[in-house]
Structure formats: structure tokens, C-alpha cells
Structure 1
Amino acid sequence: MEIVTDTDLPTRQRVARSILVNGPSTAAALAERLDLTPAAVRRHLDQLIADGSVEAREPRSAGSRGRGRPAKVFALTEHGRDGFEAQYDDLAAEALRFLSETAGPDAVRAFAERRATFIETRFPAVAAAHPEASPAEVLAMVFSDEGYAASVRELPVVGEQLCQQHCPVSHVAHEFPQLCEAETEAIGRVLGTHVQRLATIAHGDGVCTTCIPAATPDKKEQVTT
């Protein structure tokens, strides 16, 4: 039986964080990303699986591979995400319950909208600091600065997807979806277009994804001015 030492913990945390930031990953991808040997990565993955922080999944694209069994991907479990969550989730949820009971659902909605103002408040400054970035990429920077580990994925013809590998308020948003709704509306306002949330960590999905449709020339001009 292998003995786990304290010196292993920083590397194991790097493995877990890499999955958090980049999404479900194969052992080979983790080894390359972290400059570790495949054997070392698998040792840490085995320990993360044993303590319930990571689970192995069959890849969605398994049918597209040729010979051989497709490599499994490793994803964080809810328990694994807990290690990265902000503290005081229970206190925040209790406070929102009290607000809902004493002031009504409109008060919760108002709180959610106020919290989401960071999106519109920070967008202009980040855009000015990164003129080479697209509006969606600027949004990813804004969300990443707030702890969402966000990135942008291009979708041919359709547009782009804003992907958030982490949500610091996911536990509270599970009970109060107004938080997600307010963020989505703020994203739409800052981009000047309708966007659609396709998945949220708060509802059990692995990643929060927001579809940003391809802009027409008029809309592109409107966003950049």
C-alpha cells in the first residue's frame, strides 16, 4: 500500500486545479499540461478518486476514435469542487432565505441584479486594457478575475460559448437561480445581444456554458463603439 506524504499534496492540488480550470481531462493531457510523468499523474488521480474529489468518465467522443479503447477523462466531483468554493456558503444561503422570507422574492432578485453589476462595471476597463480581445474574451477575463475560471470556445457558424469551469456561488445559486439569471441578463446587456445559458454548475452540469450568437456587422459595430 502506497503511503501518501505531505509533499504530494501541492502537486495533487495542481492536478485538481488543472481539471477545474480546463475541464474534464485525460491523464495524458494533465501530464503534458503540468510537465509531469503519466505515472505520477495517475498516482495523484488514483488518490483524488479515492477521496472522492475526482471521478473517471467515458469521453463523449468515444465513437470518433479508431482502434483501441478511448482514454477516460477525469472530472471534479461536487466534493472536489468544494475544496475551491468560497467559504460561508451556508451563511450566504441562510441570509438569502431570510431576505426572501422577510422582504419577498423581489428583494432576492434585486440582490442578484446588484451582485451581477460587476460584469457591466468592469467590462469597459478590461476591454480598454486588452484591445486585441473580442467582447467574449473580455467577458472571460472579467469572470476569471472574479474566480470563475472562464474561457471562450468558438462554435463555427453559431458563434461563441462562454465557459465557466468554476462557480464561486454554485451552492447558493442551486437554491437561488436568480443569481444565474441576473448574470445571464448582464452578459446580454454588455454584449448588446440575446444570450442563452445552456448549462450551469449550480444545476449539476460540469461547466457553466453561455451561448453567444455570431454578431451581424451592425451588432459588431455596436459592441465595439
Structure 2
Amino acid sequence: MAAQHGGGDTRTHGHPAPDEHHGTRNKVARSILDHGPSTAAELAQRLELTQAAVRRHLDALVSEGVVEPREKRVYGSRGRGRPARAFALTDYGRSAFDQAYDQLAVDAMRWIAQAAGGGEKGRAAVAAFARARVAAQAERYRAELERAAPGERARVLAEALSRDGYAATARGAPASSGEQLCQHHCPVAHAAEQFPQLCEAETEVFSRLLGTHVQRLATIAHGDGVCTTFIPGAASGAAPGTPKTSKTTAATASASTAGRNPA
């Protein structure tokens, strides 16, 4: 249902423009994301709109599958009248916000590449940004991996990644003495599809954290169902952050194929 005019919207010749409808509707959905299931009255107060305007935007969001109505939970005795309906984001609605942030990442990296002069300089600038990003992420994991026994480091890394939304697991690799680190979700898959430097930097950081070379076998960004990284069984007598010198070249070579299927 297309939203009609309502109090609190900016108007053009008496009716809000389509972009203004869209912007206000996004604010309604964003408020629900930030504050949890909300009634029309709560949203109206929060966004300084009339309840009639909010209801029209909610009707549109429900028809698009972005939000769904629920009976608002009441604690204590319930007064007379029909209980207020609260509106919550659906899984589809949440994914729409993830895509919006992903697009922001793409736009930012495209700007970095252009600002550096494009071409090889632009790719190098994006790679430097990607390394800085994952290096900061890795610092949060380092202490946990340093405390873990060598044979437990892949599992500990998977648990740390899962807390950051990667739904990661570690398991024995088929027909080998190594392990596979599997990431079943990638919050930046759309960005990594266009900028494989993100996958390459992540692979390099895994190598440093685990103290051995690793090989990226598959990525969601390339169209695979899971991001899969092979960790050799000899992993790791080295401490996290200090891969053996003889394996540094191998780590770099493996990282260079990140984001692509192996030949």
C-alpha cells in the first residue's frame, strides 16, 4: 500500500514527494530497529509525526514484508479496550538494513580507490584499508588465541568470528591432517564481491593469528555457499601473530587467491 499524505511529513504542493515518503518510511523502520517492537503511538512521539501518518507508513511497511504486527505484551493488569499492536521488523526487514550498510562500504571503498588515483594505486589503497580493518578486528581475538592450545586455535577463532556475525565453525578437513574454518555468513559479502582485497586481507590475518600459512578454498563473495579456509595440521606450534618465516610466502600466495575458487 502506498503511503498517502499525513501530518509531520514534509510537503510539496500539499503532498509529500515520493522520496520524502521513502525517507520517512525508512526512519520508521530504523526506529523499530533501534528500539525494538513499537506501537504507532510510540513511533509518533519518537519521530514527531502524527499517529495517522505513522500508521500509513506502517501499513506500507507491512505490505512490503518489512515489519509485522504483534500484540504488545502487557505486564500487570490490562485495562479495557483492544490491546495496542506493536510492530517488529521481519527477517527480511533486518536484511534490508544489512544491505544498506554493505552499500555504504562499497561506496566508501570506491571513493578510496578513486581518491588514490584509480588503477593500481587505487587497488593498493583499498588493500591498505582492508588490512587496517581486519587488523583491528584481529586485535580483539589475539589474546584468546594466545591462551589457547595449538590444537584449539581454529575452534577459538571460529567462536570469535561467530560473535562478530560470521557464523563460523572449525572441523577436520576431509582426507587430510588439517582443519577447515567455515564461515557460513559474511556481513560484507556484497562489498567483497567487488573488492576481493577484503578477502585477501582476512586470509592474511588468519595466517598471522594461527601462526601458519592458510589457504582460502571458497568464498561467499565468489558465489560459494560458505567461506572455507584450509588450515594445515602442522599448524601451529608457533605463537599467534608470528607465522614461520618459511611459510610467509605461502601465506601471501594463498591470500592472493582469496575471493576466488581454486583452479
Q: TM-score with structure 2 length normalisation?
A: 0.49
1:222 to 232, 238, 243: 238
| Alignment match, 1:63 | none
The aligned runs of 1:9-158 (5 Å cut-off) are 82=95, 85=98, 87-103=100-116, 104-127=122-145, 134-155=152-173, 156-158=175-177
> Could you give the per-residue CA deviations for residues 87-144 of structure 1, whole angstroms, max 9, x where no partner exists?
4211211111111011122211111001111453122332367669701011102211
Alignment RMSD: 2.8
RCO greater where, 1 or 2, for CA within 8 Å and sep 6 or more? Answer: 1
**Matched-pair contact (CA < 8 Å) for 1:99–1:107:** yes
Number of residue-to-residue matches in the alignment: 145
Distance 1:158 1:151, change over 3 A: same
SS at match of 1:197: strand
Partners of 2:228 and 2:133 lie apart in 1 by 19
Q: Equivalent residue for 2:223?
A: 204
Give yes or no for contact 1:119–1:186 (8 Å, CA) kept in 2. no
Where does 1:147-186 land on structure 2 (aligned, <5 Å)? 147-155=165-173, 156-186=175-205
Residue pair 1:135, 1:223 contacting (<8 A) in 2 also? no
> Would the alpha carbon gap of residues 128 and 214 (structure 1) be closer, same or farther in structure 2, given more than 3 Å must change?
closer
1:209/1:222 Cα in 2 relative to 1: closer, same or farther (>3 Å)?
A: same
Against the structure 1 CA distance between its residues 91 and 102, is the aligned structure 2 distance closer, same or farther, given a 3 Å change threshold? same
Structure 1 pair 81/162, CA: closer, same or farther in 2 (3 Å)? farther
Q: Report the CA distance shift for 1:114/1:147 in structure 2 as closer, same or farther (over 3 A).
A: same
Q: Deviations over 1:2-53 (max 9, x none)?
A: xxxxxxxxxxxxxxxxxxxxxxxxxxxxxxxxxxxxxxxxxxxxxxxxx9xx
> How far 1:146 moved relative to its partner?
1.3
Identity of aligned residues (%): 52
Change (3 A) 1:222 1:140: same
Question: 2:206 — aligned with what?
Answer: 187
Query: What is the rounded CA distance, in whole Å, between the counterparts of 1:164 and 1:209 in structure 2?
Result: 7
Q: Determine helix, strand or coil for the equivalent of 2:160.
A: helix
Query: Does the CA contact (< 8 Å) of 1:89 and 1:169 recur in 2?
Result: yes
Gapped regions of structure 2 (runs ≥ 5): 1-64, 66-91, 117-121, 243-263
Indicate the residue corresponding to 1:9 in structure 2: none
SS across alignment from 1:167: coil
Q: Rg bigger for which structure?
A: 2
Separation in structure 2 between the aligned mates of residue 193 and residue 200 of structure 1, nearest angstrom: 20
Residue by residue over 1:141-187, the C-alpha shift from the partner in whole angstroms, topping out at 9 and shown as x without a partner, is 22112110100011253300000000000000000000000000110
